[in-house]
Amino acid sequence: MQALFRRFFKKSETVGSHPETFVSGQYAAITTINEQQATDEMVKGMQHFLDMAERVQDKLPHFRRGHLFEAIVAAKENAELATTGMNERYIITHLDGRNTAPADLELYSNGALISEAQAKFSIQPAKKIVGMISDPKYDGMDRYIPANKIEDVQRELTKQIRECNDPQKMADLKDALQHIKRHDTASVEVWQADRNPAQYAMEMEVKYVGQEMLTAGSQAAVGAAVVGGGISLVKNIISAYNGKLSASEAAGNIAKDTAQSALKGGTAGSAGALIRCGAEKAGLQTLAKSNVAMAVAGSVVEVGTIVYDFAQGKIDGETAMIRMGQTGTSTVSGLYAGAAAGAVFGPPGAVIGSMVGYMLASSTYQSCVAIMERAKLADSESKRLVELTDAACKAMQEQRAEFERLVEEKVRCKKSEFRNAFFSIDNAINRKEFYQATEGMANLAGLFGKKLNLQNFSDFDTYMRSSDAPLRL
């Protein structure tokens, strides 16, 4: 692991690897699971709300608003349950085909019914509403009434309980008071939803998507600041230790890098949440997974940064392409490593696995880039060697041509002398005049600037009689 970090820190200086955006995105994907589920529940709840609006559009206003109130309460309650990490969810009996069921809402956990609720929307005075919700058939059920009516109804219930002499009626009143549920859906909200259901549904979805984006962006910014700041801390401490930076310069670089990492991480986190929500609505199951959406958003931010650096002239086109390739490779590797580690070690393992996978892929990619650069260098050296060889061959050919030209010129100038020498040798041999033959060969050797060691027969005879050395002409 230490070797991996050393290689990563060393090579990231030249290639430009920034794992903090990716890792912080994966961190945000894990820490905002509840917010993601809350958004999904609200989107689902608003779909149910629109279904309800379509079903009851021809009913009288007070009946229509009562049904819309049920759908709104169910959507909000389910989103709240998801936010707290609970797996209980409400269903609307009317949408479930049970229009005459005593309960408007039923709460289920893992398929088992655990409680029921009655939702009563009314603009009547508190005394009238008390009569509605204290009906004995609702005993044991939670009661939902408009939020702006809750305090008045509670006071009226308390008053009637004090004044009641009928034990059964008193029990019903106490049950109603005990089961009134606190929530935030007031009458005016239901009226607005009734006037324009589509706009209301869109506003509620946007609200929850915005909350998820804010939370994811905040979490990702924190994660990116920690990772990016930590990487910058190590790199700048090493540079300061080696005398490349002063302490103040190192501190400034760390602060700057931390802030930039937090900004990029926050941007990627918010963008990832938006991508996830959009993919969920579009039915793109793979992209709707938060870790994938965050990875895509992180890659988009990193690629945007690379393109900006290229446009500003900070890097050339080749470097930009290399960095884009590294971002893609590291992102995919980090996703797989994070998923594998998360399956075994849970959310903390997913974050660590994502970071290790990203850094391992980044280091591998950087090694491949280094090999490619060395290959380019070897190819360049080979080309230079070929060029040098070609130049040497050309020079040798030119020298040979010059030599042949000089020989040809020499032969042409001494042509008559060569003819006389060969004629003399040939004539002497035919007449068996060995002294003349020896003289002709001496003349021929002289034309090439050479001299026979034995000029005549007498020298040959003397040499053969007096010396044991090999014969050399």
Which of 124, 136, 135, 118 minimizes the C-alpha distance to 180? 118
**Can you tell me the distance from the alpha carbon of 421 to that of 252, in angstroms, rounded to the nearest whole number?**
95
Which one, of 31, 19, 5, 32, lies nearest residue 295 by Cα?
Answer: 19
- The closest alpha carbon to 314, from 326, 305, 302, 325, belongs to 305
**pLDDT of the residue at 410:** 67
All residues at 6 or more sequence positions from 207 whose CB lies less than 8 Å from its CB, including other chains: 42
Give every CB contact of residue 137 below 8 A, 6+ residues apart in sequence. Answer: 102
- Tell me which H or E stretch contains 227: helix 197-241
Closest Cα partner for 208 from 43, 72, 26?
A: 43
Look at residue 354 in the predicted model and tell me its pLDDT: 47
pTM, rounded to two decimals:
0.63
Residue with tokens 């820190």, as numbered in its chain? 9
3-state secondary structure 258-305: HHHHHHHHHHHHHHHHHHHHHHHHHCCCCCCCHHHHHHHHHHHHHHHH
pLDDT in the model for residue 202:
94
d(CA 121, CA 77): 16
Q: Which amino acid is at 432?
A: K
How far apart CA 293 and CA 30 sit, in angstroms, is 12
Residue 91 structure tokens? 């269903």
| Order of all β-strands in the sheet with 105-109 | 89-92, 105-109, 112-119, 142-144
Q: What is the pLDDT of residue 427?
A: 77
Q: Tell me what pLDDT residue 257 has.
A: 83
Q: From first to last of its 473 residues, what are the pLDDT tens digits of the chain? A: 444 444 444 444 444 455 677 677 777 777 888 998 999 999 999 999 999 999 999 999 989 999 999 999 999 999 999 999 899 999 999 998 888 888 999 999 998 999 999 999 998 999 999 999 999 999 999 999 999 999 999 999 999 999 999 999 999 999 999 999 999 999 999 999 999 999 999 999 999 999 988 988 888 888 878 877 887 888 888 888 888 888 888 888 888 888 888 887 787 778 777 878 777 777 766 656 765 666 666 555 555 555 555 566 766 665 655 555 555 444 444 444 444 444 434 445 444 444 444 444 455 545 555 555 565 555 666 666 667 666 666 767 777 777 677 767 766 766 677 677 777 777 777 777 766 777 777 776 776 666 766 666 676 667 677 766 665 65
Residue 450 phi, psi (nearest 5): -115, 170
SS3 of 180, please?
strand
